Amino acid sequence: MSTGSILRSAFTTKLYVTVLVAIVLGAALGFAAPGVGASLQPVGTGFIALIQMLIAPVVFCTIVTGIASAGELASVGRVGVKALVYFEVLTTIALIIGLIVMDLLRPGDGIHADPATLKLSGSAQQYVQTGESQHWYDFLIDVIPKTVVSAFTEGNVLQVLLISILFAIALKGLGERGAPLLRGIERVGEATFGIVRLVMYLAPLGAFGAMAYTTGKFGAATLASLGGVVLLFWATGILFCLLVFGAVARLCGIRILKLYRYFKDELLITLGTANYEVVMPQLMKKLENLGCPKRIVGLVVPSGYAFNGDGVCLYLGFASLYIAQAFDVHLSLWQQIALLAVFMITSKGSAGVAGAGFVILAATLSTTGVVPVAGIMLVLGVDRFLSTMRGLVSLCGQLLGSIVVSRWEGVLDLARARAVLDRKTPATEPANPVAV
């Protein structure tokens, strides 16, 4: 087979190749013709909306069938607690690393910004207003939907998660009488994943539009002024994914680079769209295929989209100290520890909030009063580029969440996971059942 035919075959049959080409072409268009690139925003947001409309039914069907067909209900609570412990430990580490990197390298020194010259406007003002209205306990109250239907229409993952767990417990209590309904939900789930497969054909187009918009609207001029900050954050994020997540993966008995290779489609789609929620459906399927029980994947992945803030917390530690350094505000060790403690609380309210990282940053700076909140204007221009790495880091944390909890529970099919990662088992085969 000639080189040309091999490339054509890869382009038409390998999603990651098509998405990668689309990202490069989108970036090139955005830099070459910024106006045209910026006008393609609906292409990217349209693809994201198509996937997001399917997240609620995917979560509901997966959790209900997973829990209702599982063993003891006590295991559900145990899995939930272990998932929260994992997410909390990793997000805390991300916050600490962000602060340490900024303390050592201090990229904000020498800017000498004057808070009086910075005025909040546009989206920055909206972020601050949203942040000031947020409380640490909001995410607890927001778990409860106004109605059963509103949880699905508003797309709040936490609310769908609550309804799904309650429905699954009630369905399990019906015993044999609930079996026909359970089989019906399983069929609905299969049909929903069929829609996901159809929509994913548009992933290259969505990545192209999103990347063209990003580089067209925020491209050359912005990167020239704050390129060093973006590069430092990206380098920190990449090292975090390789070293911290690499150590976690090694504890689970797998190699992190092989895991990233297995999820390359999802990583590239997140890179192109700066949104890691859009890969939730296929992420769950591939984790099951990797050897994680369906009941664990169905609970850990949706809860992770609410509580897994690795990328956001890395960004918070990074951005808060960058703004302080730019304003020549010296933060003592104890002040940084206090800031870290506040971030650990406020970051829990990020579920379902647009521009979560920016909102939490604005809310925390407003409440502490140590660093001027107007400083968010210093990073607003490159936030789109920073949010891409935020999404990638959070996605990598999601990849490991179900694996860690499955290993912790002693139900991870490690032999199958290694076979899939070593390409000895086709990645498209459904996962073998795992006894639970």
* Out of 176-180, 302-306, 364-368, least confident range: 364-368
CATH classification code of 3-421? 1.10.3860.10
The answer to whether residue 31 scores a pLDDT higher than 90 is no
Residue 412 in 3-state DSSP? coil
Q: What is the pLDDT of residue 71?
A: 59
Do 26 and 210 touch, CB atoms closer than 8 A? Answer: yes
- 104-130: average pLDDT: 61
Q: What is the pLDDT of residue 11?
A: 46
**Which pLDDT tens digit goes with each residue over 309-360?**
788 888 888 888 888 888 788 878 887 877 777 777 666 655 444 456 666 7
Cα separation, 34 vs 393, in Å, equals: 28
Packing angle, helices 220-239 and 383-409, rounded to 10: 20
**Which pLDDT tens digit goes with each residue over 377-435?**
777 667 777 888 888 998 999 889 899 999 998 888 899 999 999 876 655 544 433 33
Domain boundaries, given as residue ranges, for the chain: 3-421
The answer to whether residue 29 scores a pLDDT higher than 80 is yes
Do 246 and 256 touch, CB atoms closer than 8 A? Answer: yes
What is the chain's alpha carbon radius of gyration, rounded to the nearest angstrom? 22
**Which pLDDT tens digit goes with each residue over 205-250?**
888 888 888 778 766 665 666 677 888 999 999 999 999 999 999 9
Tell me which residue has tokens 């970036």: 27
Q: What is the pLDDT of residue 116?
A: 61
> What is the residue-wise DSSP string for 219-278?
-HHHHHHHHHHHHHHHHHHHHIIIIIHHHHHHHTTS-HHHHHHHTHHHHHHHHHHS-SGG
- Other Cβ atoms within 10 Å of 243 Cβ, number: 12
Q: What is the pLDDT of residue 257?
A: 93
Cα angle 12, 263, 285 (rounded to 5 degrees) comes to 95
Confidence of residue 137 (pLDDT cuts 50, 70, 90): low
Cα separation, 281 vs 285, in Å, equals: 7
Tell me which residue has tokens 């609930």: 178
